[in-house]
């Protein structure tokens, strides 16, 4: 088996992975970035990045940004990581500007919008109100710095040698061929797990692989029960179903109505109303729909008709698409409902993105600790840049100074043996290239969807012991079905099987964490324990394979 060698292996080419690649390559390391084919969350982002420049409101500063982030996270956040985030966010955004990324500015100052939970207008806006140019610039800069890319490839396992990272096993998504990747350090930048849910804002391929990879390698996962739901995701027009409406439009005065015309947020948070944190607004909308006060297409109304068109154009995501599909936000009510959006927890890291496994780093949404129980709008993009850059430079340093536990003869043999063992779990039917149908692909897809429905029903906005236990039983059943399929799929289905395996691991950890937390806090709401319980639960839940 041929081995591909690099110094720093980066899994994921979203905002965090690319920022890490730039820094690692500039630090003198050979860098290989591996990615799936199915897109990333960064390229879909609404283009808001929280940075306390204080341009829109001179009272703002990093200390207030810190206080808001900790309060939103219900004090489960790692204070050191939050401090790094708020203090470095300005520098990282200015670096992006230097690289050529454009933001909306006036008289040399950043224009900034208010998002739920922020005390001041703090969110800088990418020009065009999307992140397309961010992704273009990061890709160009990473390639210019010397990073190489391997596309359409699913990383299946992290391989350790002597307790250190030695490399990874990856599967070509089309042919099912196994690739052995040897490295001195590895950065997980695989994004979140929105793809575990049926209704979500994220691309389907972002389905929690990184958590499962880290867990199997023995790293720690923290705060996995906290999944944030974007409250206002379009349910109509059909072509825009699933597209999020960013919350800054509520900051500009848009409000929510149920089918009786009631502005129901007054019952949920009379002080903050529509700019309450995402968890409160999501729960409010979901409860209105469940109580039969939803709109014809199963949402709540978002009324932005009173907002000047110039403001709508700049601060309402999908404004032009809405017009194209016959819905003018200046004249029509929008119909919105919550959808799974962001995994607040993840792989436990220190301020340099290092995990508990020597040589293994994590950055971006896959990492945990920054957001605690809930995330503020705009903090995720800042996180990708701040911790992506830090992990990139720390991983390059590790590769330089550790001598590299992988990349030697014994490491190579460990990789080959891991590859053999991995393939032994499967019996393949049909040849690699000739089996056009890809035996097993349809069954694997339908199992993925079954799992998504299960996670949605049991670990959605409202949770309970009974629902979570049912969900865990269903996960076991899906696991059994996957085991059966392993004995008769084609090579072309292998990447799909790997993804499902990862989904099952991550889903189980999420449900177990949610079951364990017998209180309601931030994005986690238990119907059977609806109160916050600071005495017993102001603490983090950590999962690690070796702590079992």
Ligand X SMILES: Cc1cc2nc3c(=O)[nH]c(=O)nc-3n(C[C@H](O)[C@H](O)[C@H](O)COP(=O)(O)OP(=O)(O)OC[C@H]3O[C@@H](n4cnc5c(N)ncnc54)[C@H](O)[C@@H]3O)c2cc1C
Q: Is 35 in the site for ligand X (CB under 6 A)?
A: yes
Q: Is 368 in the site for ligand X (CB under 6 A)?
A: no
Near ligand X by CB under 6 A: residue from 6, 7, 15, 467 = 15
β-partners of residue 216 are: none
Quote the DSSP letter at residue 244. Answer: B
Residue closer to ligand X, measured from CB, 448 or 526: 448
Query: Tokens for 455?
Result: 């996670």
Give the HSE-up count for residue 387: Cα atoms under 13 Å, Cβ half-sphere.
38
In the complex with ligand X, which residue's Cβ is closer, 186 or 461? 186
42 touching ligand X, by CB under 6 A:
yes
Please tell me the distance from the alpha carbon of residue 167 to that of residue 185, in angstroms, as a whole number. Answer: 8
Q: Which is nearer to ligand X, 27 or 378 (CB)?
A: 378
| Binding residue (CB under 6 A) for ligand X from 29, 81, 155, 497 | 155
Q: Which residue has the tokens 């005065």?
A: 253
Closer to ligand X at the Cβ: 496 or 540?
496
Buried b (16+ CB within 10 A) or exposed e, 73-108: bbebbbeebbbbbbebbbebbebbeeeebebbeeee
If binding is defined by CB under 6 A, does position 31 make contact with ligand X?
no
At its nearest, how many Å lie between ligand X and the CB of residue 261? 29
Q: Does residue 47 interact with ligand X by CB under 6 A?
A: yes
And the tokens for 125?
């806006």
- Range list of β-strands (E), 134-250: 148-150, 153-161, 164-172, 178-182, 185-188, 221-222, 227-236
What is the end-to-end Cα distance of the chain in Å, rounded?
A: 34
Tell which residue, 542, 494, 483, has the closest CA to residue 218: 542
CB 160 to ligand X: min, Å: 17
Binding of ligand X by 36 (CB under 6 A): yes
In whole angstroms, what is the distance from residue 32 CA to residue 150 CA? 7
Out of 17, 116, 359, 419, name the contact with ligand X by CB under 6 A: 17
Site mask, ligand X, residues 239-278, x = CB under 6 A?
A: -----x----------------------------------
Give start and end residues of each alpha helix (H) in 121-204.
132-145
CA 78 vs CA 272, 367, 373, 386: distances in Å? 26, 12, 11, 15
Nearer to ligand X, 90 or 191 (CB): 191
- CA separation for the pair 451, 459 (Å, rounded): 11
110 binds ligand X per the rule CB under 6 A = no
215 touches ligand X (CB under 6 A): no
# binding residues, ligand X (CB under 6 A): 41
* 118 scored as a contact of ligand X (CB under 6 A): no
Question: Which of positions 428-457 make contact with ligand X (CB under 6 A)?
Answer: none
Question: Does the annotation count 400 as an active-site position?
Answer: no
CB of 527 to ligand X, least distance (A): 27
What minimum distance in Å lies between the beta carbon of 416 and ligand X? 20
Residue 234 lies near ligand X (rule: CB under 6 A): no
Q: Decide if residue 392 touches ligand X (CB under 6 A).
A: no
Question: Residue 496, interface with ligand X (CB under 6 A)?
Answer: no
Residue spans of beta strands (DSSP E) within 12-135: 31-34, 48-50, 105-106, 109-110, 112-113, 123-125
User: For ligand X, which is the closer residue by CB, 111 or 259?
Assistant: 111
Which of 381, 485 has the CB closer to ligand X? 381
Length of the chain: 548
Cα–Cα dist 389/415, whole Å: 28
Q: Within 13 Å of residue 16, how many CA atoms lie on the same side as its CB?
A: 30
Q: Quote the least distance from Cβ 477 to ligand X, whole Å.
A: 24
- Contact window for ligand X (CB under 6 A) among 29-37, 57-65, 140-148, 393-401: 29-37
Q: Which residue is nearest to ligand X (CB)?
A: 14
Question: 171-200 mask for ligand X (x: CB under 6 A)?
Answer: ------------------xxx---------
DSSP strand pairing (112-113 vs 367-368)? unpaired
Query: What's the closest the beta carbon of residue 479 comes to ligand X, in angstroms?
Result: 18
Window of 66-74, 152-160, 253-261, 539-547 that interacts with ligand X by CB under 6 A: 152-160
Q: What are phi and psi of 431, to 5 degrees?
A: -85, 165
Contact 384, 364 (CB under 8 A): yes
Smallest gap from Cβ 423 to ligand X, in A, equals: 17
Closest CA to 241 of 132, 337, 343, 331: 337
Window contacting ligand X (CB under 6 A); options: 44-52, 102-110, 453-461, 479-487: 44-52
Looking at residue 459, the DSSP 8-state letter turns out to be S
- Rounded Cα distance, 519 and 531, in Å: 6
Q: Could you say which of 48, 113, 289, 485 contacts ligand X (CB under 6 A)? A: 48
* DSSP H/E element including 369: none
Q: Which member of 199, 278, 283, 521 is catalytic?
A: 278
Q: Give Cβ neighbours of residue 413 (< 8 Å, ≥ 6 apart).
A: none
Nearest to 375 by CA among 462, 286, 280, 278: 278
Least separation in angstroms between CB 208 and ligand X: 8
Residues 409-428 touching ligand X, rule: CB under 6 A, are none
Minimum distance between the CB of residue 426 and ligand X, rounded to whole angstroms?
A: 17
The residues carrying an active-site annotation are 278
Summarize as ranges the residues that interact with ligand X (CB under 6 A): 11-17, 34-36, 40-42, 44-49, 153-155, 189-191, 201-202, 205-206, 209-210, 244, 342, 364-366, 378-381, 384
């Amino acid at each position: 088996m041929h081995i591909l060698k690099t110094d720093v292996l980066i899994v994921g080419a979203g905002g965090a992975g690319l920022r890490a690649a730039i820094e690692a390559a500039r630090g003198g390391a050979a860098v290989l970035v591996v990615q799936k084919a199915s897109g990333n969350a960064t390229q879909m982002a609404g283009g808001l990045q929280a940075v306390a420049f204080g341009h829109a409101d001179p009272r703002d500063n990093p200390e207030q940004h810190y206080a808001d982030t900790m309060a939103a996270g219900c004090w489960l956040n790692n204070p050191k990581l939050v401090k790094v985030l708020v203090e470095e966010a300005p520098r990282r955004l200015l670096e992006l500007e230097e690289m050529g990324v454009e933001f909306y500015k006036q008289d040399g100052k950043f224009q900034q919008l208010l998002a739920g939970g922020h005390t001041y207008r703090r969110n800088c806006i990418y020009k065009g109100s999307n992140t397309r140019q961010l992704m273009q610039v990061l890709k160009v800069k990473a390639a210019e710095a010397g990073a190489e890319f391997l596309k359409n490839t699913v990383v299946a396992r992290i391989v350790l040698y002597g307790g250190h990272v030695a490399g990874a096993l990856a599967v070509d998504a089309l042919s099912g061929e196994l690739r052995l990747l040897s490295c001195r350090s590895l950065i997980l930048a695989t994004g979140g797990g929105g793809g575990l849910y049926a209704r979500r804002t994220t691309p389907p391929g972002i389905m929690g692989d990184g958590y499962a990879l880290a867990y199997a390698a023995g790293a720690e996962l923290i705060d996995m029960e906290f999944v944030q739901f974007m409250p206002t995701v379009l349910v109509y027009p059909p072509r825009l179903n699933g597209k999020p409406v960013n919350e800054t439009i509520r900051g500009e005065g848009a409000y929510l109505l149920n089918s009786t015309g009631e502005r129901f947020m007054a019952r949920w948070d009379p002080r903050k109303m529509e700019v309450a944190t995402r968890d409160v607004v999501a729960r409010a909308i979901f409860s209105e729909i469940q109580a039969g006060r939803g709109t014809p297409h199963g949402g709540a109304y978002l009324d932005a008709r009173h907002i000047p068109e110039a403001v709508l154009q700049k601060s309402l995501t999908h404004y032009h698409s809405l017009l194209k599909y016959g819905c003018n936000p200046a004249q029509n009510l929008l119909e919105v409902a919550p959808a799974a959006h962001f995994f607040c927890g993840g792989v436990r890291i220190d301020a340099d993105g290092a995990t508990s496994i020597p040589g293994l780093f994590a950055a971006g949404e896959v990492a945990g600790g920054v957001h605690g129980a809930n995330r503020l709008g705009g903090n995720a993009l800042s996180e990708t840049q701040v911790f992506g850059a830090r992990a990139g430079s720390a991983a390059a340093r590790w590769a330089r100074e550790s001598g590299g536990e992988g990349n030697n003869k014994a490491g190579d043999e460990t990789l080959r043996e891991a590859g053999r063992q991995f393939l032994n779990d499967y019996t393949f039917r049909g040849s690699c290239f000739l089996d056009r149908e890809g035996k097993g692909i349809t069954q694997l897809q339908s199992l993925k969807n079954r799992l998504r429905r299960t996670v949605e029903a049991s670990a959605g906005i409202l949770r309970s012991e009974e629902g979570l236990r049912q969900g865990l039983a269903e996960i076991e059943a899906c696991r059994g079905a996957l085991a059966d399929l392993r004995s008769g799929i084609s090579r072309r289905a292998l990447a799909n099987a790997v993804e499902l395996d990862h989904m099952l691991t991550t889903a189980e950890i999420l449900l177990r964490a949610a079951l364990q937390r017998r209180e309601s806090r931030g994005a986690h709401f238990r119907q059977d324990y609806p109160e916050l319980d600071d005495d017993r639960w102001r603490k983090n839940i950590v999962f690690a394979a070796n702590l079992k």
